[in-house]
Amino acid sequence: MFKRKSDQPIGLKIIIVGCGKVGTTLVDQLVAEGHDITVIDSNITKIEELTNLYDIMGVEGNGASYSVQMEADIENTDLLIAVTGSDELNLLCCTIAKQVGNCAAIARVRTPDYSQEIGYLREKLGLAMIINPELEAAKEIARILYLPTALEVSPFAHGQAELIQFKIPEGNILDGITLAQLSSKVSHKVLICAIERDGKVTIPSGISEMKAGDIISFVAQRATIKNFMQNISVKTSKVKSTMIIGGGKATYYLASQLLHMGISVKIIEKDRKRCEELSVAFPKAIIINGDGTDAELLKEEGIDRVESFIPLTGMDEENIMLTLHARNLSNTKVITKINRLAFKDVITTLDLGSVIYPRLIISEAIIAYVRARRASIDSNIETLYHLFDGRVEAIEFSIDKTSRVTDIPLMNLKLKDQVLVAFINRNGNIILPSGQDCIRVDDTVMIVTTHHGFDEIEDILR
C-alpha cells in the first residue's frame, strides 16, 4: 500500500477503483473538496502517478477482490466509486463493497445493453448511483440542439427550470441595459445569474450593465425560455439536421435522442462492421462508411449545408480540428466533445462553440451526492453544475427542515458576497424571487455563487 503524506482523514472516506481519466478527475475534485481518498488499480504506474501528485493512498490489485478491498480499508469506508473500463467489473466491485463494507457504492456503466436496465440494476444491487458519461453527454448535446443559440443548457427542478448560457450578439436589445431595466425591455421574466466579460465572471446586481460579447447565464421556467429568446431576437428553433463524426457509444445515445426529437441524423464512421450495427439500430439515420476527417468526404456529404455538426471521435485533437473546419465553412451549430482536461485553458480561447466534457458531467453528479452525504443539517443537494470553466457553481438544495434561512424574507438574510438565490421551486411552481420572498420547508432552492464547496443551504450565510 502506498501511504498518504498526512494521515489525518477529512470529510468522507472514499475508495475510487480505476485510475483512468475519469478516476483521475474524481481524485482531483474530491481531494479539493477535502475528502480522504484511496485509489485501487492493477496498474502500479498509474497509482504511483496519483499518489505522488495528491495526498492520497493507493492499493495495487483487482478492485473486485475481497482481500484488496480489505487492504484499502473497505470496512471503514463511506463510499466506493468504481470507474474501471469494464461495466461488469464495476458492478462486481460495488456488490462486494456493499456486502463487506456496508458502504454506499457508485458504478460507471456505459454499455447500451445495460442502459435500459439502470433503474433495475441500481435497485437490486443497492447502488447509490449508476453513472454513464456517454449517455449524460448525449443528453446535454440534445438539450443544446433543441435551443441551438445556447452555449450550455442545464436543467433544474426535474426539468421545470433551466439555466441557459449564451453570448450577447452585437446590436442585441440586451446590449447596454442594466439588469434593473430588463423587465421593462423584455416582458418574459428571467433572472440573470452570472456575467462573464474579458475573462472575469461576476454574480450581477440590479445596476450591472450587459454588453455585446458578454457571456451570460440566466434562469427561467422552461416553458418561458423560448419566448424570452424570441423577444430579444435570438433564434430559438431546434436544428433540423445534424452530422455526427464517429460511431461510438456517445453517438449511439445521441442518435437515439435526436431521431426521437425529429432531427435528421447522418453518421460518418470508419469501421464497416460498426456502420452495419448502427444501420440496424437506426434505420431512419444515414450511415456513411468513411473517414470523417477527410475534407473532401465531408464536403460531399454536405458539411456546409447541415444545421449542426458534432465530432464524437475518440481523439480530442480530431474533434477540435473538425469543429474549426466546420466553423470555417458555415455558421452551422457545432458542439465539441473533449475528454482530457489538461489543456482546458487553451481550449477556452478557441472558437469551438459549445464544449462538452463528459468527465465533468459525471463528477458533478458524484460531488453533489458526496456533499449531500457530508451535510450536517436537513438540506440535500439535488443538482450541481459548474459553469464558466468551474468558476461558478449552480446548486439546487432541497429544504427538509426549518433552519436559519427559512421563513425569513430574502432581503433580511445576511448573504455572502457573490451569492444569488436564483429560484425557489414550490410544489412545481418556479418562483424567481424578490426580496420579499421566503424560503420554506419542502421547497427546493437554486443558488448561484462563485464560492466553492457549499454542502448545505446555510452555507450561503455570512
Q: Supply the pLDDT for residue 135.
A: 92
Say how far apart CA 338 and CA 459 lie, in whole Å: 32
Query: 85: number of CA atoms within 13 Å, CB side?
Result: 6
Instruction: Measure the CA–CA gap between 152 and 356, rounded to whole angstroms.
Output: 9
What is the C-alpha separation between 22 and 85, in angstroms, rounded?
Answer: 10
> Architecture of domain 367-460 in CATH?
2-Layer Sandwich (3.30)
The number of angstroms, rounded, from the C-alpha of 430 to the middle of its chain's C-alpha atoms is 22
Helix (H) / strand (E) containing 308:
strand 308-311
The kind and range of the H/E element at 40 are: strand 36-41
Give how far Cα 395 sits from Cα of 156, 241, 360, 422, Å.
Answer: 9, 33, 15, 10
Classify domain 241-356 at the CATH superfamily level. NAD(P)-binding Rossmann-like Domain (3.40.50.720)
pTM score of the predicted model:
0.88
Please give the pLDDT value at position 264. Answer: 97
| CATH architecture for the domain at 137-231 | 2-Layer Sandwich (3.30)
* Pairing outcome for strands 79-82 and 13-17: parallel
- Summarised one tens digit per residue, pLDDT across range 119-132 is 888 898 999 999 99
The H or E element that residue 229 is part of is helix 222-231
Q: Are 335 and 141 contacting, i.e. CB atoms less than 8 angstroms apart?
A: yes
What cell numbers appear for 82 in the block? 468504481
Same fold, 13-131 and 137-231: no
Q: How far is CA 26 from CA 13, 19, 50, in A?
A: 14, 9, 11
Q: Take residue 273 and report the three cell numbers written for it.
A: 462492421
Residue 8 pLDDT: 39
**Which pLDDT score is estimated for 7?**
43
- Tell me: the pLDDT tens digits for 349-392? 787 889 999 888 888 889 988 888 876 555 588 889 988 888 99
Residue 271 is predicted with a pLDDT of 96
Copy the grid coordinates of residue 80: 466506493
Range 13-131: architecture per CATH: 3-Layer(aba) Sandwich (3.40)
Mean of the per-residue pLDDT values of the chain? 91
Residue 5 grid coordinates: 503524506
Alpha carbons 91 and 418: distance in angstroms, whole number: 41
Cα separation, 3 vs 111, whole angstroms: 35
List, run by run, the mean pLDDT of 10-residue segments along the chain (462 residues).
47 94 92 94 96 96 96 95 95 94 92 85 91 92 93 92 93 92 82 93 94 95 89 86 96 96 97 97 97 95 95 93 93 90 74 87 89 70 88 93 94 95 95 94 96 91 92
Number of C-beta neighbours around residue 457 at 10 A: 27
For the chain, domain boundaries: 13-131, 137-231, 241-356, 367-460
